[in-house]
Amino acid sequence: MKREIILLGKSLKDYPETGYYEKRLINTTYSYFRDHNIAGFKSRLKKDFDYEVINNFVKDGNIFWTTNEIIGAVRVSLSLNLLTDEEWKRAIPIIEHGLEANKAYVRMLDEMSDVFEKYCEEWKDLDMRSTFMKRVHLECWQGRFSEHSSNPEKKPNYS
């Protein structure tokens, strides 16, 4: 009998199709040495459960996954029977936290879009959209949104 996974009050089967992400995960994480990689995953899982769940369901290194990638990872893990029922009970709250973070991220983008669109429209004769697209990563790396050591006070230097 297959386990029923409920995430954020919704059955896993009710989430959109994620075949592309599932196939990509199978072809990378569980590629040619599939049995070896699955055994390795299960072994690491027993040593440090929370870390492995976060890395395998929510993030790839420091890159947070999209909702479809998270759902795809859950489906692959379910189909490969990677977790026991007890491990799923511990994993689901972590996965749901990641899904909530994605929802908050999309809300933030929606809230910011009006400001950015207005700004880009007002200054389109100067092509400020291109300028914004080139500089926003620097604001995250060394500017006001950074945690970079060269900007401990998080005050951007526009000079």
Domain identity same for 94 and 133 = no
Please tell me the distance from the alpha carbon of residue 120 to that of residue 144, in angstroms, as a whole number.
20
* The amino acid at 147: E
85 and 29 share one domain: yes
- Residues 140 and 77 grouped into a single domain: no
Tokens coding 43? 């072994």
Q: Which of 15, 11, 8, 6 is nearest to 68 (CA)?
A: 15
Reduced to 3 states (helix: H, G, I; strand: E, B; else coil), residue 31 is coil
Q: How far apart are CA 20 and CA 38, in angstroms?
A: 20
- For residue 91, the model assigns a pLDDT of 87
Helix (H/G/I), strand (E/B), else coil: 10? strand
Residues 6+ apart with CB under 8 A from 94: 50, 53, 54, 57, 58
- Enclosing domain of residue 141: 123-159
Q: Does some domain include residue 99?
A: yes
Q: Is 113 contained in some domain?
A: no
Lowest-confidence region among 16-30, 89-103, 109-123: 16-30
Tell me, yes or no, whether 80 and 158 share the same domain: no
Question: What tens digit of pLDDT does each residue of 108-152 get?
Answer: 999 999 998 998 899 989 888 888 888 888 888 777 777 777 767
Q: Residue 59: which H helix or E strand, with range?
A: strand 59-60
In this structure, the answer to whether residues 34 and 66 fall within a common structural domain is yes
Q: Is residue 117 part of a domain?
A: no
Output DSSP code: residue 58. I
Indicate the number of domains in the chain. Answer: 2
Dihedral sign for Cα atoms in the order 6, 7, 10, 16: negative
Proportion of the chain above pLDDT 90, given as a percent: 26
Q: Which among 79, 89, 22 has a CA at the least distance from the CA of 53? A: 89
pLDDT in tens, 47-71: 666 555 566 678 777 788 899 999 9
H or E stretch covering 63: strand 63-64
